[in-house]
Structure 1
Amino acid sequence: MVNKDTLAQFCRSQGQPESPSRTPERDSGSGSGTAVTSATLRDGKAYALPQQHGVLVLNKPSGPTSARCLTAIKRLGQKKIGHAGTLDPLASGVLLVLLGQATKLSGHLLSGGGKVYSGVLRLGQTTDTWDIEGQVLEETPWQHIGVEDVRREVASWLDLTEQAVPSYSAAKHEGQPLYKLARKGLEAPQKIKRMKISQADVLETSLPFVSFRVACSSGTYIRSLAHSLGMRLGCGAVLTELTREYSHPFGLDVARDPADFTADPTLLPGCVIPVEDALPHWPRVDLTLEEAARVRNGIAVPCRTPQADSGDGEDLAFLMEQGQALALAKREATAAGPCWAVLRGLWN
C-alpha cells in the first residue's frame, strides 16, 4: 500500500467515479437519503444506532457491488446513507460512505481531488466490458510483445487528456445508463470524457500479466486504460484486478472491512469521520451566535477577515457553530462587501 502522504500529492484533479461493468449497481439503492429502518441482529439483540453524521471509509472486497457493501451499515438503522465514487464489483479498496448530513457533500467529495489505483491487466484478450468479467470477443497472440513495449505504453498514459467511456458503465445516453442499453443489445454513440493521469508505473510483469499503479483524476476509467493499451499493442488487453488505494482525502490506512460492523455494530460511531474533516482543505469560519441564527435562516454573513481559497477553484468554507459544521458556504461579492452565502445547511 502506498503511504497516504505520498498519495495525496498526486491527487488534485476533477471528474466522476469509476463506473459499473457488466454486473453494475442494480436495484439495491445507495443514493443519498435512502430510507432504511432494519437493524443488525447480534447475540439476539437488535441494534438500531442513532443516525450518524460523517464519512465512513470502507475497504470494499472484490465481488459485491458498492451498494451491497452498504447493507451492513444500513441495517444499523442509518436512514440517510449514500456513497461517493462507485467501484465496479471486480474492484476492491476505498469506498467513501456518506452518513446523515455528509450525504450533502457527495458532489464536493467527487470534485475535490483524485484517486490512486493499483491493478493487473492481461494481454491477449478483448471482452465487451474491457475487464475479465465480460464476454470474450477475441483472443490474440501476445508472445511477440516485450516488457519494454508494455512500459512504454503505460508511460504514455501520462499524455492522455481524454478516454473512451466503456459501454458497460453508468454514464448515460438520452437518460439511460449505458450498461442497460448494452445488456439489451442496443448501441449508443461512443462517449469521450476528459481525464488526467499524474502517475503511471509498471510494478511487475509476468507476461501476459502486468501489474501497475496510476494516480488519476476522479472518474478515470481504469478499464479504458487497459483496453486502450491492448489496442495500441495490437493484442488486446483486459483488466483482471483493481484496488482503489486512495480516494481524496482518504486511503486504505483508515478503511474498515464492512464485515467488521456486522460482527460488532458498536464500532460504527467511533469510525465515522466528522463532516468538517471530510474536506480538510476547506477553511472553517467560526460564527457568532447571531451569525449562526442568520445562517439557519439562509441569510449570508459578512466575511470578517480574508479567508484562504479552498484550493479547488472555488472560495468554499464550512461555517462553524460552537465547533460543529453548520453549513457549507461560498464566498460571494456583494455591494456591502464579500460575504459567505449558504450553499447547504447541515443542521437538519
Structure 2
Amino acid sequence: MGRRQKKRSPEQRDGLLILNKPSGPTSTGCLNDIKHQLKQYKIGHGGTLDPMAQGVLLVLLGHGTKLAPYLSGGTKTYSGTFRLGITTDTLDIQGEVTKETPVDVTVEDVKREILYWKELTEQEVPAYSAAKHKGKPLYALAREGKETPVKIKPIVISHVEALDVQMPEASFRVSCSAGTYIRSLVHSLGTRMGCGATLISLVRESSEPFRLDQALDLEDVLENPDSFPDRVTPLKDTLPHWSRYQLTEPLAGLVKNGAWLPVNDQPGELLAGELGDRAMLLDTDDTPLALVEAKLQDNKPKWSILRGLWNQD
C-alpha cells in the first residue's frame, strides 16, 4: 500500500516568507508559530539562526520547501558585537562563563585579528550546535555532560570589516559561506589574543539573495493573518538571482518527460546561458516547471534538470 498523502490546508501557501527573526526564540519556535497559527503545515527554512541572533530567516512554505538546497547554500552577511576577557561554554553570552581573563590588548590588535578571519579556511564546530554525531545533535550530548567529538568544517570568508572597537567590546561585519559559526570565529579570535572572547549580539543582514530591509517582523506576520498571503513571495520569484525562461508548450512537454534542452549561446535569447549557469524554467502559464543547470551532454551544453517542479500534488 502506498503512503497516504496528508490533506493540504486550504490556507497553505507556496513560496517564501522573508522573516526578521527576533532575538530570543529558536528558529524552530518561529516556524512552529507560523505553522500552527497560520496553518502552514508544510514549512521549512533556508538556514537557521541561533536563539540569541536576529535577522533574515528564509521561511519556505508548501512547494517552496523543495527549493531549500538552492536557498540555504548562499552567502550570509552578519553584523555583531563581542566582548573580550570572557569565555563561555556556548561561545556566546547566553552560556555559562567558564573563564575570565584580564584584557591587555590594543584597539589595533583587535582590528587586526578581526580582519584575520578572512585568512581562515576551516573552523571547529561548537559543542553547543545542531551538528550531529551518530544521529544525535552535539548540543544534546553537551547538555548531558557527555564528551562531544571535535568536528572541523571548511569555511569561506569573503568579506570582513571592523566597525567599532570600544574596549572591551568590538563590533564587526562579516560575509561568509553557509553554515559558518560566527561564535566560533569570535572564540578563535579570543584564543589568539590570549584573553578569550564571547559573542554578545548578532544580526543576519542578508541570506543571499534576500536582505534585512525586505524582511517582516514575526509579531506583525502573526497578528495580521488576513494580509499573510500577500506577504509570501511567489514560488516563481524565490530565486531572483537565477535566470528565468518561460517555455513554449512543446518545450515544456519535453521537460516534463525529463529531456535536457539545448543551451542557447545567444545572450538575451530563450534558454541562453553558459556552462555552470542555473535557471528556473516556467510553464506556458508562468508557473515553475523545473530548476536546471547548464552541463555538458555528449560534448554539447544542455540544461540538466536539478529539480522538477511540475508535479505539485
Please confirm whether the aligned pair reaches a TM-score higher than 0.5, indicating the same fold.
yes
Of 88, 92, 100, the match for 1:127? 88
1:215 maps to 2:175:
yes
For 1:205, give the aligned amino acid.
Answer: V
Of 303, 306, 309, the match for 1:343? 306
Would the alpha carbon gap of residues 336 and 236 (structure 1) be closer, same or farther in structure 2, given more than 3 Å must change?
A: closer
Q: Which residue of 2 aligns with 1:308?
A: 273
Would the alpha carbon gap of residues 250 and 36 (structure 1) be closer, same or farther in structure 2, given more than 3 Å must change?
A: farther
Q: Distance in 1 between matches of 2:182 and 2:263?
A: 45
For 1:328, give the aligned amino acid.
Answer: L
Would the alpha carbon gap of residues 49 and 141 (structure 1) be closer, same or farther in structure 2, given more than 3 Å must change?
A: farther
Q: Distance in 2 between matches of 1:247 and 1:236?
A: 29
Would the alpha carbon gap of residues 233 and 334 (structure 1) be closer, same or farther in structure 2, given more than 3 Å must change?
A: closer
- SS of aligned partner of 2:216: coil
Aligned residues: 298
For 1:299, give the aligned amino acid.
Answer: G
Q: Which residue of 2 aligns with 1:98?
A: 60
Please provide the CA RMSD for this pair: 2.1
Would the alpha carbon gap of residues 234 and 265 (structure 1) be closer, same or farther in structure 2, given more than 3 Å must change?
A: same
RCO comparison, higher one (Cα < 8 Å, 6+): 1
Report the TM-score, using the length of structure 1 for normalisation.
Answer: 0.80
Stretches of structure 1 that go unaligned for 5 or more consecutive residues are: 1-34, 38-47
- SS of aligned partner of 2:23: coil
Q: Which residue of 1 aligns with 2:288?
A: 325
Deviation (angstroms), 1:49: 5.6
- SS of aligned partner of 1:199: strand
Q: Deviations over 1:262-321 (max 9, x none)?
A: 22112212211122322222222322223323433x421422623324xxx834321111
- SS of aligned partner of 1:70: helix
Show the 5 A alignment for 1:30-109: 50-74=11-35, 75-109=37-71
Stretches of structure 2 that go unaligned for 5 or more consecutive residues are: 1-5, 266-271
- SS of aligned partner of 1:134: coil
Q: Deviations over 1:8-41 (max 9, x none)?
A: xxxxxxxxxxxxxxxxxxxxxxxxxxx798xxxx
- Range 148-157 or range 72-81, more displaced: 72-81
For 1:233, give the aligned amino acid.
Answer: M
Q: Distance in 1 between matches of 2:211 and 2:49?
A: 15
- SS of aligned partner of 2:163: strand
- SS of aligned partner of 2:142: helix
Q: Distance in 2 between matches of 1:339 and 1:218?
A: 28
